[in-house]
Amino acid sequence: MIDISFDVRSDTPPGKDPDKFSSTLREYHRRLWSKPLPDGASFELKISKAKGYLFHQSSIGEFYLSSDSMMPSYLNIKRMAAVLEQVPKSLPKEVQSQAYRIGGFIVFPGNRIDNKMTINGARGCNRKIGDRFDLTLECIRRHYAQQESPLSEVLQRYGYFFEIFRSFRDYTEFFHLQDLVSQDASEVKFLLAFDNFQRTPFPVSGDEYRAYAERTMGFLKARGARMKAAVNN
């Protein structure tokens, strides 16, 4: 059983990151993603302090996975202060609250390769992505389509991880991301207007933030419901 309303900050020590320190979040990840891969192969994940956050080893390879929060609320982000002044104070807090539930988290490989950035680090630092998961997902879609994107280098570095899901559609279904793509998974449903990574990833007005917040919370709630149905039934 998983509680999709559980706030993972509640079992995280003060000042610490739930991605690393919430035992409930880690266990939920283990339950959610320990399931057959699209080709039927077992993908059982184990919690191992020696190996890392979550670990899998079998004939398909070794995988060291870590948690990553998907949807920023932009609360307490200095560059967003002027925009957030244009919306009710409660709105970014609502986004943040929803984002700290299991529907707001995913796993990526957590091991560094050649001491270079992980996917988690790269998507947070890339000025064209700004930690937004819809933009990250578009990069992943392009990776499967063998097209260039702002995250091409890091996604290719961890290409072995994406290979086990066979296709972009299978990847989105495995991680319950269907509500962020079209029905045939040929397109990503962006949270803000998309212009091929040319514009800033950050909302630039109160109206844009409201649209971002509404779409973000809608997706997170829908994804949480998919998770609940998959694990609790």
Res. 17: pLDDT tops 70: yes
- φ/ψ bin of 107: left (φ > 0), alpha (ψ from -120 to 50), beta (otherwise): beta
The alpha carbon of residue 132 and the mean position of all alpha carbons in its chain are separated, in whole angstroms, by 9
**pLDDT band for position 232 (cuts 50, 70, 90):** confident
With beta carbons less than 8 A apart as the criterion, state whether 125 and 153 touch. no
Count of domains observed in the chain? 1
The Cα–Cα gap between 37 and 151 comes to 24
Give me the DSSP letters along 149-177: -TTHHHHHHTHHHHHTT-SHHHHHHHTT-
Q: Is residue 33 one of the residues assigned to a domain?
A: yes
Residue 1: inside a domain, yes or no?
A: no
In a domain, 3, yes or no: no
**Hey, what are 101's tokens?**
């539930």
For residue 199, being part of any structural domain is answered with yes
Q: Could you tell me if residue 140 is inside a domain?
A: yes
Query: Is residue 17, in this structure, part of any structural domain at all?
Result: yes
Domain containing 64 equals 8-232
Q: How far is CA 207 from CA 83, 192, 194, 212, in A?
A: 9, 11, 16, 9
Give a yes or no: residue 81 inside a domain: yes
* Token digits of residue 229: 């149905």
Q: Is residue 233 scored above 90 in pLDDT?
A: no
- Whether residue 86 is contained in a domain is answered as yes
Quick: pLDDT tens for 79-117.
999 999 999 999 999 999 999 999 999 999 999 999 999
